[in-house]
Amino acid sequence: MDSFRRIAALRIQAAQDRTHAVTEEVSRVENKVYASPGSQTILRFAKDAASRIEALLETEKQIANSSPLTAPQLETRLYRISRLLPLLHELVGFVDGSDVHQCPSQLIPTLRRYSKSILPGSEIIVSSKPELNYSIQDIAAPLRNLFSGTEVESSCALLPDLLFVVTIPVVESGQILIHGVLAHELGHAIYDRHGIAKSLLPMITVSEDMVKKLVPLMMNSQGKGAGAPSELGLRRKVTEEVTERVNGWVKELCSDAIGIQLFGPALFFAATHLLTSFSRIDKATETHPPARLRLRLMLRMLKQRYPVNEWSEGLQSLCRNWDEVSSGPVSGTNHYDQIALETINDAVLDFVTLASESATSACARYDGERFRNDIAQLAPMFLNHIPPGEMPPYIGGVPVGLASIINAGWHVYLCDFDKFRKSLHPKDGDTRFAAATKLHELVLKAIEISGIRISWEEARRDSKR
Amino acid sequence: MILSAEKIRKLLEHPDPNPAKRLVISPLLDVQKQIKAGTASIDIRLGQRFHVPLRAKLSQLDVMSPTHQTDLLRYKDDTFVPIGDYFVLHPGQFVLGETLEWVHLPTDLVAFVVGKSTWGRDGLIIATAIGVHPNFSGILTLEISNVGEIPIYLYPGLAVAQLFLASVQLSTESVSPVPSAFQIQTAPRTRNVDIEDREIIEIFAKHLKTTNL
């Protein structure tokens, strides 16, 4: 028993070292300049929780030394506290890559404001990570759940209602046009917040017939040995696998649909440039549908909501080509994928579109009229090297919205890029990539100007109150 | 002819429908303070980015050195200071800053940037490239140095310089403007080594060596 107590004391000390490391790390990074106040919120939370855990461990040390608790009782008490330690380490990791040098600081104020407008009570942190991937994750709710009922619960008061950590690829942090896919990530947040799964998924049924047809095939391929699963067991497994895929894929598709509602064609353009640049067009995973299906839905929505036939020839031709490619048959790589693909038919895509519409307010939606105006007014400004952050007149100018700036930028990239490139200094227009970088910089500058203009108006209003 | 504050205001209030012919100074946060009646300039504000050369790594600034340009790009610290925060400029320190405003000049206007004398009295010198040519479009890089003896806090958003605008007498021949090397600069940039200029010096140096003068 004595050795258990001695070991318990050592373990508590080791756990205290872990908390101390968190506190030290927070002190090291808290003076960095972060693009979003959300990063500081996380650091404050981690520091506060670490100090509470350290104090609790100190109490445990005394209990371990003096009380007549049994070994299992001590083990339980200790675990109840120490299990929170890996979470604190993970939390500090979320902040990594979110300082102004590593993420597009021009974008963040505007993106924060945008996310607050569609998801009231939310805060957003954009963090650049090494993966070529975009993601979004609300960490406030899971933290509240994990810390609920523990002695550290009160630290959760520091958290906002929703705290989204959005990751973007670090080496592409300046590629603002590709960041149009953030509309899809915001779509995820809206999908969860509005509980769309609850209303949408019951409308989609996996065909029993397709499952029934697959099971004998699987039984034949697996043989009929002693350890082979029964027909009923296989049927259950197939249904589970397919349902998991359908649920995950519908979530992704609905997030795409919401993204199209929010950002319009810019999401489609960004998705066509990102999704298919490093992956096979028909590749699916358990959570993500094939890019071909996603692009089919997006293009379908654009054709329903935008006068695509009136767009410039360049855009029309792009859409025609993608239409042909995306409407082609998707070849599933396995039987589960194939059934999921057959389940998500045109009727399901209609449900998804409707769900996305009901989840977004009319004023948050980008539409054909705005796209037409943005192309007419903002795109020529880009071509003349003027970032369209505000609409003239420049005295009392009106700030331009995020979606408008990105859509106009895409239009220049897709339809007038050669003209833009030729207008640059020979060094800047030397390569296609260098010229594109200049365009990205202009788009980011426009977003920055728009953000400064809005922040200034807000600050002025606040000071008058 | 130098434009009056009223004329500048008019050009910004009624921009030309053709963006190429527009005078753009954006964003203007407080027009009343930036364009003062009866003057002949517009105040411009300090932006959020600073380019600080790393003294510990740069042993010299020698345009003839083949690594000059890469050294300038490599040994620097680009600092972003959001509006509301500050940057401390120590005595003797030199940094590149930027204007908050984007400036676009049409073909018939030229601009001159001059530091505000109020800051000069604190020891802050905001020398700039001074002349901004017609058709320029970008933020203006400000060469900021503290020649006083006391550290100065620089707050992005403060009016630190003024822009004088003058009209350009255009020739009747139509010319296609050559874009500036600093066109569409969105952050303070160091100099570009002029290769042709360097070549002239190299030719001279070679000539001196061979003629043994």
Below-70 pLDDT ranges, chain B: 75, 128-129, 174-175, 191-196, 212-213
What 3-state class would DSSP assign to B35? coil
Closest CA of chain B from A384, distance in Å: 6
The nearest alpha carbon in chain A to B136 belongs to A385
- Contact yes or no for A95/A27 (Cβ under 8 A): no
Please, which residues 368-397 of chain A have a Cβ atom closer than 8 Å to chain B? Answer: 380-381, 383-387, 389-390, 392-397
Write down the H helix ranges in A67-181.
71-82, 85-95, 108-118, 140-147
Do A389 and B31 make contact, defined as CB atoms within 8 angstroms? no
Closest CA of chain B from A262, distance in Å: 26
Contact status of A456 with chain B (Cβ, < 8 Å): yes
Cα separation of A440 and A432, whole Å?
A: 12
Do B13 and A456 make contact, defined as CB atoms within 8 angstroms? no
Cα separation of A404 and A391, whole Å?
A: 11
The nearest alpha carbon in chain B to A398 belongs to B27
Residue B92 neighbours by CB under 8 Å, 6+ apart:
B145, B146, B147
Which chain B residues are Cβ-neighbours of A427 within 8 angstroms?
181, 192
- Contact yes or no for A18/A85 (Cβ under 8 A): yes
Do B19 and A380 make contact, defined as CB atoms within 8 angstroms? yes
Q: Which of B12, B18, B21, B26 to mutate to test the interface with A (most CBs of A within 10 A)?
A: B26
| Tokens at A166, concatenated | 């959005």
Instruction: Look at the block and give the residue holding tokens 């001695």.
Output: A6
Torsion angle (degrees, nearest 10) of CA A415, A420, A421, A426: 170
pLDDT of residue A223: 64
pLDDT of chain A along its 465 residues, tens only? Answer: 578 788 888 999 999 999 999 999 999 999 888 989 999 999 999 999 999 999 999 998 888 888 777 888 888 888 888 888 999 999 999 999 999 888 898 999 999 999 999 999 999 999 999 999 999 999 999 999 988 888 788 889 999 999 999 999 999 899 999 999 999 999 999 999 999 999 999 999 988 888 888 887 777 776 666 666 777 888 888 889 999 999 999 999 999 999 999 999 999 999 999 988 888 999 999 999 999 999 999 999 999 999 999 999 999 999 999 999 999 999 877 889 999 999 999 999 999 999 999 999 999 999 999 999 999 999 999 999 999 999 999 998 899 999 999 999 999 999 999 999 999 988 888 899 999 999 999 999 999 999 999 999 998 888 877
Contact status of A101 with chain B (Cβ, < 8 Å): yes
Which chain A residues are Cβ-neighbours of B51 within 8 angstroms?
none
Do B9 and A395 make contact, defined as CB atoms within 8 angstroms? yes
Q: Point out the residue among A394, A441, A445 whose CB comes nearest to the CB of B25.
A: A394
- Domain spans in chain B, listed from the N-terminal domain onward: 5-211
- Contact yes or no for B113/B128 (Cβ under 8 A): yes
Which chain A residues are Cβ-neighbours of B82 within 8 angstroms?
33, 100, 105
What 3-state class would DSSP assign to A356? helix
Phi, psi of A361 (to 5 degrees): -75, 155
> Peptide bond before A120: cis, by omega within 30 degrees of 0?
no
Which chain A residues are Cβ-neighbours of B81 within 8 angstroms?
33
The nearest alpha carbon in chain B to A421 belongs to B179
Q: Point out the residue among A100, A384, A394 whose CB comes nearest to the CB of B80.
A: A100
Cα separation of A184 and A178, whole Å?
A: 12
Q: Provide ipTM, 2 decimals.
A: 0.87
- Contact yes or no for A95/A129 (Cβ under 8 A): no
Which residues face A263 on adjacent strands?
A: none
Q: Which of B7, B16, B24 to mutate to test the interface with A (most CBs of A within 10 A)?
A: B24
> Cβ-count burial of A1 within 10 angstroms (0-12 exposed, 13-18 middle, 19+ buried)?
exposed
Do B31 and A395 make contact, defined as CB atoms within 8 angstroms? yes
Do B179 and A456 make contact, defined as CB atoms within 8 angstroms? no
Give the Cα-Cα-Cα angle A18, A20, A22 (nearest 5 degrees): 75
Q: Point out the residue among A100, A384, A394 whose CB comes nearest to the CB of B28.
A: A394
Residue A284 neighbours by CB under 8 Å, 6+ apart:
A245, A249, A290, A332, A333, A337, A340, A341
> Cβ-count burial of A76 within 10 angstroms (0-12 exposed, 13-18 middle, 19+ buried)?
exposed
- Contact yes or no for B44/B159 (Cβ under 8 A): yes
Do B179 and A424 make contact, defined as CB atoms within 8 angstroms? yes
- The topology under which CATH files domain B5-211 is Deoxyuridine 5'-Triphosphate Nucleotidohydrolase; Chain A (2.70.40)
Q: Point out the residue among B14, B82, B183 whose CB comes nearest to the CB of A425.
A: B183
Chain B residues with a Cβ under 8 Å from any Cβ in chain A = 9, 12-15, 19-20, 22, 24-29, 31, 78, 80-83, 85, 100, 102, 104, 137-139, 178-181, 183-184, 186, 192
**What are the angstrom distances between the C-alpha of B46 and each of A158, A444, A449, B192?**
34, 18, 14, 23
Work out the number of other CB atoms within 10 angstroms of the CB of residue A276.
17
Cα separation of A408 and A379, whole Å?
A: 5
Cα separation of B24 and B43, whole Å?
A: 14
Residue A181 neighbours by CB under 8 Å, 6+ apart:
A134, A259, A267, A270, A271, A274
Half-sphere exposure of A422 (CA within 13 A, CB side): 5
Q: Which of A103, A106, A386 to mutate to test the interface with B (most CBs of B within 10 A)?
A: A386
Q: Which of A34, A395, A457, A463 to mutate to test the interface with B (most CBs of B within 10 A)?
A: A395
- Contact yes or no for B190/B96 (Cβ under 8 A): yes
pLDDT of residue A76: 87
Residues of B forming the active site? 143
Contact status of A445 with chain B (Cβ, < 8 Å): yes
- Domain spans in chain A, listed from the N-terminal domain onward: 2-173, 196-355, 368-464
Which chain A residues are Cβ-neighbours of B180 within 8 angstroms?
425
